[in-house]
A and B are shown apart, each in its own frame.
Chain A
Amino acid sequence: VNNQKNHSSANQEITQSVKRTYLKPRIESVEMRPTEALLGACKTSSSAGPASPSCSTLSCSSLGS
């Protein structure tokens, strides 16, 4: 039992020595763009980026940014 107490006490000291400064939680928002993320965007011929043979006909492409 004494050994367990000593071990516990040592752990507390270690925990206190590495204790980090408290930082208040805060929310950070990250922008998502559903039309890009869903691979559903249909780009027109005026959009940036080259078109593959099928895309040039369908006016639909994943290409370019």
Chain B
Amino acid sequence: MMPMNAASALAGPENPSSPTRTLCLGGLTIRLIGSGASAPLIEPISQRFLVDSEVTPTITLEVGEGDPAEFEKLASQKPFFDSGGTWKLYREDKTLVYAVTVPIFGDIPYRFLEVANDFSTGRLLINPKAGVPEHCLFPLAFPLDELLVANLLTLPGNEGVLLHACAVTDPDGNAYVFVGQSGDGKSTTARIWAAREGMTILTDERVIIRRHEDGFFVHGTPWHGDQLAAVPGRARISGIFILRKAPANSVTETRPSLASALLFARSFPPLHNPESLAATAAFLESLVTNVPCRELHFLPDSSVVDFVRGLYAA
């Protein structure tokens, strides 16, 4: 792997000719600096989350084509962590390398994200020998974008979590977070609420929750579901509901200890890092202590909208 000081020099803002793109996800800014004249490609939905490049970035990444030998070397190494899916984590002396391999491009990683241990700088490279078609050249596409954000959220001072949830704001200024694993009803919930006038679905699949100076906020993300909801906004959380399909609408109060455990099971913490796990557990404990978190047993029709909003009526 390239020494990070070399990568930082390439990726640094001191090179004004480098084309840049800056994404803001959950209030965290990711600056991508392209090589040559071409700007890093961003997936269409993620482009909604582009911001002014003058903001101070949380992390700066050099983006471009890598040396095929680096990818081959990764494939020959034993990973530090194997997701069992498309990505593996390799640990170098001063860096972490998340490498993505999919069968269609062979058994050599076709792109990787290398980040310094402090997550301040890194490289995001595509294997030129993989034969990736032009319309797939989104270096930060899933799962690297979510893995990066999931890590950044657990760093000291960032105080946040990536949750499997959809989030809705209503005309009264309330923001509800509906948390659920696959099949629990996030897409159904988003569809039902979207049918009502004045509702905004921040996202229907993944949300970022963070503690800011003035409270806990939910942020929309580009990681949408069936409803294609991906709004780059944030709202102060009124309530968190853990979804349970049921024949009638009701809520049950949930003890904070159980609530934080249920949320943890619906979150995406870096499971390979004990410090990140501890930070996530501490954040969730703080979240459920400060924000009402209940189990919502719901009938999948529009009656649930009135039911939930009724809980917050003056």
Contact = CB atoms under 8 A, between A and B. Distances in A.
B183 interface: yes
A62 to B, nearest CB: 4
Contacts of B262: 30
A64 B223 CA distance: 9
B83 A50 contact: no
B44 interface: yes
A31 interface: yes
A33 B265 CA distance: 7
Contacts of B183: 65
Main SS at interface, chain B: loop
B268 A37 contact: yes
A64 B181 contact: no
A39 interface: yes
A58 B147 CA distance: 18
Contact of A54 (B138, B186, B261): B138
Contact of A65 (B87, B205, B265): B205
Interface residues of A, number: 30
A63 B104 CA distance: 19
B205 A64 contact: yes
B278 interface: no
B106 interface: no
Interface residues on B, range: 35 or more
B142 A62 contact: yes
Contacts of B206: 62
B184 interface: yes
Contacts of A48: 187, 226
A63 B43 contact: no
A37 B86 CA distance: 13
B84 interface: yes
B146 A62 contact: yes
Given A59-B104, A63-B205, A30 B261 contact: yes
Contacts of A38: 83-85, 268, 271
B224 A63 contact: yes
Nearest to A63: B225
A57 B265 contact: no
A40 B265 contact: no
B85 A40 contact: yes
Nearest to A52: B43
Nearest to B267: A37
Interface in A16-65: 28, 30-42, 48-50, 52-55, 57-65
A64 B186 CA distance: 9
Contacts of A54: 43, 135-136, 138, 141-142
A59 B83 CA distance: 17
B43 A53 contact: yes
Contacts of B86: 40, 42, 60
Contacts of A57: 104, 133, 135-136
Given A54-B43, A60-B86, A63-B223, A39 B143 contact: yes
8 nearest CB pairs, A to B = A40-B85, A40-B83, A65-B182, A62-B142, A39-B143, A54-B136, A38-B83, A30-B261
22 contacts: A31-B181, A32-B265, A37-B265, A37-B267, A38-B84, A38-B85, A40-B86, A41-B85, A49-B205, A50-B224, A53-B136, A54-B136, A57-B104, A58-B102, A58-B136, A60-B86, A62-B143, A62-B205, A64-B205, A65-B183, A65-B187, A65-B205
